[in-house]
Structures are given as C-alpha cells and as structure tokens.
Amino acid sequence: MNTKNIVSCFMIIALFCLASCEKELDAPVPFAFESGVLSTSKTEVVINAADPTGEAVTYSWSAFKNSLINNVLILTADGKTDTINNIAANTDNKLLKNSELNTILLDSLGLTVGVATDLKAVLVATNTTTGESATSNAVTIKVTPAAKGAAYAKLWIVGDATPSGWDVGNPREFTKDVDNDFQFKYYEVLTAGEFKIATALGSWGVDWLMPPTSHPSITSTAVTLIPGGNPDNKWLITNSGPYKILLNISPSPFIHIVPFTPYPTVSIVGDATAGGWDINKARVMTQDVNSPWIFIWTGALGSSGEGAFKFPLDYGNWGGSFIMAPVASSRLTTTKIVINEAGTSYPDNKFVVKPGEEGTYTITINQLYETISIVKQ
C-alpha cells in the first residue's frame, strides 16, 4: 500500500471515530432526581425527658448529597402534620433530640403524654435550581411523648456579687436553656460577695433557691428551695472574675459554679474565607487586651462552595474544640454560639454566607457570654 492510500485509510478511521464521539456526546445523560430510601434508627421511641439533648431518633436517606438540594421532613400523626425545615445542605440524615421531638409531638401534633401513637414521616427533596421535587417512601414508628415543664419559667440572681447588687426589683435574669426546661444559665463577671436565686421579682418574701447551708464551697453542687427565704442561706464568691453558673431545677437539682478561663486562641476556617477548609490556613482572631474572652476579626467572607465557616479553638487541629453555630446553616444575623468541647458529639453546625451577602465583615466573639456579632463593613 502506497503512502497516499495509508493516509486515506487514517482519514477514514478518524472520521469514523469522530462520528462515533459525536453520537456519544449527543446521547442524553440518564438522570433520575430522587429523595432516596428513608429509614429510621429506631422503630419505637419513648421520650426521655431526663435526657433532653439525647437522641430520640435519627432519620436517614440514601440519595446523593448535594448543596443545591433542599430536604424537608414531613411528620404526620392523628391527622396533624408538622414540617422540619432546618436540615443542613449536603447531609443525608436528621437527628432529633428528645426535647426537639417531644415539642413537635406535644405542641405541633397535639399528642397525649404517655400514649404511644404512630408517627409517619416522608422526605421531600427539592432541586433549588430547577424546582423539581421528589418524595420518599413513608416510614412509621411508635412514639410516646413525655410531660415537659419545670416549676419556674424564670429565675433571677440577687446579691452584691452581681452587677445589679441587692436590688430585688431589678436583678439579673438567668437564661433558660432552649433544649431543657429544667436548666438555667448565668454567665457574668462576678465580684467578691454573696448571691442567692429568686423565683419571683420585687419581694424578699418569695421562695428562694439557696444552698442547704450558707457559704458552701463553690465546688458544692447542692441546691434547695427554701420557702420564704428563711433561713437566709447564700453562696459566696471569694475570688472576683468571670463565672459560668449552670442551675438545674429538675427533681434531682444541682448547681455548677465554675470560674471561667477562656480559650487563648480563636481562628476562623471555612470555604467562606480565603484559607478555605485548610485548618493550617485558618485566620487568627485578635484577643481583646481588657476582656480576654472577647476575640475580633475583620476580613472578607464569600458564598463560594457552601459559604460556610466555624471557629477552631485549637489551631491546626480538627480533633480539637470548636465554636459552632447553634443550628445548621445559621445566618449572619445569628447572635448565639455553642462552645463544642473536644470529644463531645455536638453536630457540625456552621455559619453560612448566602449569595448576595458577600463582603468584608467584622466578627466579634464573646466566649463568656457565648455570643457572636457579624457586622458588614
């Protein structure tokens, strides 16, 4: 075969391959948008009110994870329906805590305490780009709600150890835990002095929460309700400084009075930042010289990827402690943080920058008050 014929053969083969490739390129890519198979970690749930933050049930689904897919769980019982919307993007499961599920069962679905009832769930997945949606199979479990509530919805701290002193008409209020009706928190810089805890405002003759004996060690966890406040027992702060007080008024009450030492470093990591998810490129925040529990950072935040970020407390260590968002995909208007100590199982909740929110921000974190301020410059 001469050279001319060889070239012609190669040209014919090339044209044939090109035609084949064009056919492959023109062929439609098969794709079925679906929510996947929905399943549960349990088939029967009896709410444990004594463990409000413990797992009640976890719903899981088999569809692929994608940040453009919005998932919602629809729960139905006794003809009533509730929708769970706060499901993080890029996830394939939703854990419901005892307190969270119990609130849904009692407040949204109107179920009866102590009575087992069928709870049906389906997952609806929506493609946020096309608007296409798909619904999963239905799963049903037995649920038994528990009674919730505590003797007091509000409590106040009174004493010269506190900023408001002995003003019984205008004392500082405890913060009630959103997940536990029996639990209250008070975080503040205390001075050397005494304090006790009021169950109502404006009168010394109300019932008081006090130590069983006056001036116990602050390591003592004992607390008791004293009608009328007599005997007038009080706690004593001997060393001024920041403290975190945790009070529980369940049938097994306790109090933790803990001097607070802030983490010495805070940084910011995430694809909303220039360093991305490289923990060794996390941006370090600046510690306030007068209030060492306050940290400040100013820089650019973007919405690329997830547009997410969180705050390592042990620089360069994914296994360390973190400051997290209170719920998944928290917006920039969020004012609360959660300090997730190393080794705990708190969910990986992040703050998220949405498209159109990009820009330069100043972030201020207060470890003592567990607050955050994210302000666009």
pLDDT tens, position by position, 316-346: 999 999 999 999 999 999 999 999 999 887 8
For the ranges 31-35, 50-54, 245-249, the one whose mean pLDDT is highest: 245-249
Task: Please give the mean pLDDT across all residues of the chain.
Answer: 89
Supply the pLDDT for residue 31.
Answer: 43
Distance of alpha carbon 207 from alpha carbon 337, whole angstroms: 33
Segment 290-320, tens digit of pLDDT: 999 999 999 999 999 999 999 999 999 999 9
pTM as predicted: 0.68
pLDDT of 51 higher than 50: yes
Supply the pLDDT for residue 33.
Answer: 62
Percent of the chain with pLDDT over 90: 73
Average pLDDT over residues 114-129: 91
pLDDT of 41 higher than 80: yes
Do 161 and 224 meet the contact criterion of CB atoms below 8 Å apart?
A: no
Average pLDDT over residues 69-94: 89
Banded model confidence at residue 252, pLDDT cuts 50, 70, 90: confident
Supply the pLDDT for residue 233.
Answer: 98
Distance of alpha carbon 269 from alpha carbon 310, whole angstroms: 6
Distance of alpha carbon 184 from alpha carbon 359, whole angstroms: 37
Give the type of residue at 108: S
Supply the pLDDT for residue 2.
Answer: 53
Supply the pLDDT for residue 4.
Answer: 47
Supply the pLDDT for residue 266.
Answer: 98
Average pLDDT over residues 49-72: 83
Bridge partners of 158, per DSSP, are 196
The DSSP H or E segment spanning 353 is none
Distance of alpha carbon 154 from alpha carbon 150, whole angstroms: 10
Banded model confidence at residue 87, pLDDT cuts 50, 70, 90: confident
Count, residues in the chain: 377
Do 195 and 159 meet the contact criterion of CB atoms below 8 Å apart?
A: yes
Average pLDDT over residues 186-208: 96
Q: Count of CB atoms within 10 A of residue 306's CB?
A: 18
Segment 3-29, tens digit of pLDDT: 445 444 444 444 444 444 433 333 333
Q: Which of 47-51, 54-58, 226-230 comes out lowest in average pLDDT?
A: 47-51
Q: How, if at all, do strands 294-301 and 172-173 pair?
A: unpaired
Check residues 12 and 274 and name the one with the higher pLDDT.
274
Average pLDDT over residues 268-290: 97
Three-state SS at 348: coil
